[in-house]
């Protein structure tokens, strides 16, 4: 199982390099179900793994002229503030038992995994649905308010579930920041790196970190992102995202089934 987990680490980086998002959504399930970490630790480790991997990918894309640094930081600032506050204050403040329905207890770990699965469902549907022209038109001021509100909300979700949020960030960069899809993918890695690593700083104050494992797992993921960025030039991105969308959908169903029925 440990070998499968480390192979998964390589796949995380590979998918991040190819699509700019999505790979991070595999990290928490691998850490929880294959390597046996509890969800609180897994979401923290996920932030470090995804953040470091994305930082290497963003650096490589920057030297290729693909990263819009100005728009990347404009998006990143509200979201990484939200990520840090969520990891530092909101997650530790969640009670061990959030609610009890009849004899069924909704624990913190159960809540985070179910929330993660629900976000995976939305991510999968977003990847699988056919793109249509966006009929939404807003004036400049309204667009900026929506942009800031959305980035802060993305930050809270990233902080709760430990995912990089590329599947939420990329559409925002295309619509609000008017970037091409390829530039949005490249710029999203910069934002994911900032969000994730700053969010992880909040966990350093509340968790004991197994650095040996974390650095080993992360190094494999970093190797994967370099391979993914190279392969990005040769692969059909739309077909890849569709295939990965089905995979994410199956993973979400698996997590919900396991959490509700203990399979």
Q: What is the pLDDT of residues 172-198, one digit of tens each?
A: 787 777 788 778 878 888 888 888 888
C-alpha to C-alpha distance for 19 and 17, rounded to whole angstroms: 6
pLDDT tens readout for residues 65-115: 889 998 888 888 888 888 889 888 888 888 988 888 877 788 888 888 888
Q: What is the mean pLDDT of residues 145-161?
A: 79
Residue 74's nearest CA partner among 152, 137, 183 is 152
* Angular region, 138: left φ>0, alpha ψ -120 to 50, beta rest: beta
Using alpha carbons, list the distances in angstroms from residue 248 to 65, 70, 116, 253: 30, 31, 11, 9
Q: At what angle do helices 181-204 and 69-85 cross, to 10 degrees?
A: 30
* pTM for this prediction: 0.75
pLDDT tens readout for residues 239-253: 766 777 787 788 888
């Amino acid at each position: 199982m440990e070998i499968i987990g480390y192979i998964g680490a390589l796949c995380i980086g590979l998918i991040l390099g190819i699509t700019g998002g999505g790979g991070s959504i595999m990290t928490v399930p691998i850490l929880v179900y294959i390597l046996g970490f509890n969800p609180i630790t897994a979401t923290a480790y996920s932030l470090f793994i995804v953040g470091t991997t994305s930082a290497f990918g963003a650096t490589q894309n920057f030297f290729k002229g693909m990263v819009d640094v100005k728009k990347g930081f404009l998006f990143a600032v509200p979201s990484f503030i939200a990520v840090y506050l969520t990891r530092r204050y909101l997650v530790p403040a969640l009670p061990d038992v959030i609610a009890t329905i009849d004899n069924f207890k909704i624990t913190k770990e159960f809540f985070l995994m179910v929330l993660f699965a629900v976000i995976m469902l939305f991510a999968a549907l977003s990847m699988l649905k056919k793109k249509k022209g966006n009929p939404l038109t807003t004036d400049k001021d309204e667009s900026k308010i929506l942009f800031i509100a959305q980035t802060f909300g993305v930050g809270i979700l990233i902080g709760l579930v430990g995912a990089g949020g590329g599947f939420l960030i990329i559409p925002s960069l295309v619509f609000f920041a008017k970037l091409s899809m390829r530039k949005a993918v490249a710029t999203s890695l910069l934002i994911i790196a900032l969000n994730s690593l700053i969010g992880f700083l909040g966990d350093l104050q509340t968790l004991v970190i197994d650095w040996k494992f974390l650095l080993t797992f992360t190094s494999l993921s970093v190797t994967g992102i370099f391979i993914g960025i190279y392969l990005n030039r040769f692969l059909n991105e739309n077909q890849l995202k569709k295939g990965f969308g089905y995979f994410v959908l199956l993973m979400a169903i698996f997590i919900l089934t396991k959490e509700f029925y203990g399979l």
